[in-house]
Copies of this chain bind each other. A is one copy, B any other.
């Protein structure tokens, strides 16, 4: 399950409530495109901003619309007790796996993070993906810690966040991790702007924000990169550079939410307050980029 293209859809909100119809349509689009897995309620799915009830509802909707494509859902929460309840909910809703970042308020130590994953995985029946996202959690995993965590029961994948910009350093890091993590644990890349480089460096999954809205294009890019087709990878990834520039300025969530709003596949605005999608000139120039990419058809 933790391989190829894992597509992360938005959870469109309207007045603070999940817009069920457009959420289901987003999932159906991923099923039609044949993505390898669906990361419902990732950071892109605004999991941190939803109530337990809303998270259960979204997970059920996703599982039901996903047909036989595995659904992964995030169970992160600042309260460890709540993480356990969310894990229960997710399993009851029929997920194939869960995603867990060390969400915290106080900056955690490596020991605390290890104990946290140990406790949660000990009560879990489905595979877990370790979610490294220092931008949202404030916690920076060392490779040492990732290797230790990979030996915990149920750990099936590592979703890398910060990644070396230098391609030799990147390859060395991924090689080294693959050698050291427990057997069967896959190494995946997140952060769309660096994902082509991550796959070229040896990661075997793309945890993809773009894939949540444009699964077909993302699948072509993933297939090219994972099969080592350098030219096609560069070609497809270079075309996205103007979009990546937007990501770097405004964050991937605000950009992909604006994209989905422009496409009309979600209500506008669709993000949880106080997060704002782009407006005015920024939105117009984003629309131009989409037009150039032929993404508006």
User: Residues of A with Cβ closer than 8 Å to B?
Assistant: 16, 43, 48-51, 78-81, 103, 105-109, 111-113, 115-116, 119, 135-136, 138, 251, 253, 272-276
A108 vs B273: C-alpha distance when bound (angstroms): 11
Q: Are B275 and A112 interface neighbours, CB within 8 A?
A: yes
Taking CB atoms, residues of chain B closer than 8 Å to A274 are 80, 108, 112-113, 115-116, 119
CB distance from A76 to the nearest CB of B (A): 9
Apart from the given pairs A106-B136, A109-B276, A119-B273, 20 other A-B contacts in the complex at a CB distance below 8 Å: A43-B105, A48-B78, A48-B106, A49-B78, A49-B105, A78-B78, A79-B272, A80-B272, A80-B273, A103-B105, A105-B136, A106-B253, A108-B274, A111-B276, A112-B276, A115-B273, A115-B276, A116-B274, A135-B138, A138-B138
Q: 19 A-B contacts, Cβ less than 8 Å apart?
A: A16-B81, A49-B105, A78-B78, A80-B274, A81-B273, A105-B136, A106-B251, A107-B135, A107-B251, A108-B275, A109-B276, A112-B275, A113-B274, A115-B276, A119-B273, A119-B274, A135-B138, A136-B138, A138-B138
- The A contact surface, by secondary structure, is loop
Point out the residues of chain B lying under 8 angstroms from A272, CB to CB.
Answer: 79-80
Least CB separation from A118: chain B residue: B274
Which B residue sits closest to A113, measured CB to CB? B274
Residues of B with C-beta under 8 A to A111: 276
- CB-CB under 8 A from A113, the residues of chain B are 274
